[in-house]
Amino acid sequence: MFPSERLSSVSVPVVLKGFRNVTLPSGMRWSEALRTEPDTVVLTGPIARMQRTQVFVTIPEVVWEGSMAISLPLDELEKGLELSVNSVDVIGTSEYWVEKEFIYQRRIGQRVYEVKLWFSGPFSLIKNSELIDLCELTFKDFDKFELAHV
């Protein structure tokens, strides 16, 4: 950096790298995608250098089970650039994925129709839920019901 270079500060996003280093236990999926907190940082330095600079945090090899937050250092920048913070928290939630069958009966005239619905999702959402909590069913022209052909 030269004394004559103008310095500036700008808010830039933190970019996550190393997603392939994260392993989920068998039967788990992401219910809250990985994100950083803060998700932006202030970058200070010569304007010309800042325009070609991205701020990264690299995730190490880790087994992500449940709600987790890990504090990680930001990747090093070229000389003459400074950041408002040195580390960020990487936050995310994985949950066991389950399926649950719901049976709904609807009486129309003298006939009772039975509708079976399968929901798949995070255990915390599905476990104590009733059908009414997860969706809204609407029946129209039920007497003209036809099978859809694929």
- Do residue 89 and residue 37 come from a single domain? yes
CB-CB contact of 68 with 32 (8 Å): no
Of the chain, the end-to-end C-alpha distance in Å amounts to 66
Total number of domains in the chain: 2
On whether residue 32 sits in a domain, the answer given is yes
Task: Write down how long the chain is.
Answer: 150
Q: Are residues 15 and 50 in the same domain?
A: yes
Within this chain, do residues 103 and 132 fall inside the same structural domain, yes or no?
yes
Tell me, yes or no, whether 67 and 87 share the same domain.
yes
Whether residue 52 is found in the same domain as residue 87: yes
90 and 103 assigned to the same domain: no
- Look-up: residue for tokens 């400074």? 82
Q: What is the domain range of residue 110?
A: 97-139
Domain boundary among 76, 96, 116: 96
Would you call 36 exposed, middle or buried from its count of C-beta atoms within 10 A (0-12, 13-18, 19+)?
A: buried
Domain identity same for 105 and 128: yes
Which two tokens mark 121?
């999702």
Strands 28-37 and 22-23: unpaired
Question: Residue 121: what pLDDT?
Answer: 86
The predicted structure's pLDDT at residue 150: 39
Same domain? 17 vs 57? yes
Q: What pLDDT is stored for residue 133 in this prediction?
A: 77
* CA–CA distance, 15 with 35 (Å, rounded to integer): 9
Residues 15 and 58 in one domain: yes
CB contact burial 124-144 (16+ within 10 A = b; e otherwise): eebeeeeeeeeeeeeeeeeee
What's the predicted TM-score (pTM) here? 0.72
Structure tokens at 123: 């255990």
Asked if 90 and 102 sit in the same domain, the reply is no
Q: Could you tell me if 15 and 81 lie in one domain?
A: yes
Does residue 40 contact residue 13 with C-beta atoms inside 8 Å? yes
Mean pLDDT of successive 10-residue stretches along the chain, which has 150 residues: 74 97 96 97 90 94 97 94 96 93 83 85 83 72 50
